[in-house]
Amino acid sequence: MTQTPLGHNPVTLLGMRVDRVTMDESLALVESYIAERKPRHILTADASMVVTAKEDADFAAIAANADLVTPDGAGILWATKRQGNPVTAKVSGVVLAERLVALSAVKGWRVFFFGAAPGVAEEARARMLAKYEGANIVGHRDGFFSADNEAEVLNEIRAAKPDILLVALGIPKQEKFIHKHKAALEVPVLIGVGGTFDVMSGTVRRAPIWMQNAGLEWLHRLAANPKKISKVAMLPQFVRMVIMEKRSPASPVG
Ligand code: UDP
């Protein structure tokens, strides 16, 4: 596989880089990042993230400089196929996070759960410990804090000395948090994981497999939480943007 210094056989989707990596390749990269001990930022890109990158220049710059951007979701697979440069493997944040938790029991990696409403990361941790004996989740903290206690949050994470920090504050807050603090945190692997702890804790259920396979996970999320309408509304916006880009002769493809 050809690799560029920033990215791994990437495709460009509406100006955003997405790396063509499989789950196994992503896990191998995480292992190499932990060995190298330099802070690395991993993004899992779904349709809402690509739209956010179009609309938020600060976020787009962070995404452009990320160490790894995985293809997270049916929307990305559909759009890259439409562009004639298909990405076929999906590496979603929730699955990647759970695989890392499972591997932490084997490899001894130290994982920290940061984010979601009070009690959710704690419950997610308890459920993961019950599911994966020996999982090494060395700390948890909810994702609701003021600017005044940001320093305390950083100290708490640093003190736990994680190898992997899972940050669930939603897009783009989690990526901005990681970008701002990655040097100070001294954690080799930093990943924004959105609603992962809500799923792991059982607070929110994932869509049934048939819905996931049909690319309808967004519909399930909307039915479970109608407040997510603004996020779900990004999906038709994404589809429109992809179709329009295809029509424009000046736009770069692939
Ligand atoms: N969240 C948080 N702090 C905040 C805002 C949100 O911890 O200030 C959490 C929220 O409770 C949820 C997650 O961030 O667990 C966002 O999940 P969502 O599925 O909306 O993520 P996205 O689709 O943005 O990746």
Query: How remote is the CA of residue 173 from the centroid of ligand 1, in Å?
Result: 8
Give the residue whose CA is nearest to atom 19 of ligand 1: 195
User: Ligand 1 pocket: which of 198, 225, 227 to mutate (most atoms <8 Å of CB)?
Assistant: 198
Q: Is 231 in the pocket of ligand 1 (CB under 6 A)?
A: yes
Q: Is 145 in the pocket of ligand 1 (CB under 6 A)?
A: no
Pick from 202, 205, 231, 110: which is nearest to 164 by CA?
110
Predicted confidence at residue 206, as pLDDT, reads: 80
In a domain, 4, yes or no: no
Question: Over 60: is that where the pLDDT of 211 sits?
Answer: yes
Query: How remote is the CA of residue 204 from the centroid of ligand 1, in Å?
Result: 12
Query: How remote is the CA of residue 231 from the centroid of ligand 1, in Å?
Result: 11
Could you give the number of structural domains in the chain? 1
Give the residue whose CA is nearest to atom 14 of ligand 1: 169
In a domain, 233, yes or no: yes
pLDDT tens digit sequence for 64-117? 999 999 999 899 999 999 999 999 999 999 999 999 999 999 999 999 999 999
High-pLDDT (> 70) share of the chain, %: 94
b/e per residue 84-98 (b: at least 16 CB within 10 A) = eeebeebbbbbbbbb
Range of the domain at 137: 10-244
Predicted confidence at residue 217, as pLDDT, reads: 81
Overall pTM surpassing 0.95 (yes/no): no
Rg from Cα positions in the chain: 18
Q: Is 115 in the pocket of ligand 1 (CB under 6 A)?
A: yes
Q: Is 170 in the pocket of ligand 1 (CB under 6 A)?
A: yes
Pick from 87, 82, 62, 19: which is nearest to 245 by CA?
82
In a domain, 87, yes or no: yes
Give the residue whose CA is nearest to atom 21 of ligand 1: 194
Query: How remote is the CA of residue 205 from the centroid of ligand 1, in Å?
Result: 15
In a domain, 2, yes or no: no
In a domain, 250, yes or no: no
Query: How remote is the CA of residue 129 from the centroid of ligand 1, in Å?
Result: 22
Atom of ligand 1 nearest to the CA of 145: 8
In a domain, 108, yes or no: yes
Predicted confidence at residue 147, as pLDDT, reads: 93
In a domain, 49, yes or no: yes
In a domain, 3, yes or no: no
Query: How remote is the CA of residue 198 from the centroid of ligand 1, in Å?
Result: 9
234-247 vs 74-82: helix crossing angle, rounded to 10? 10
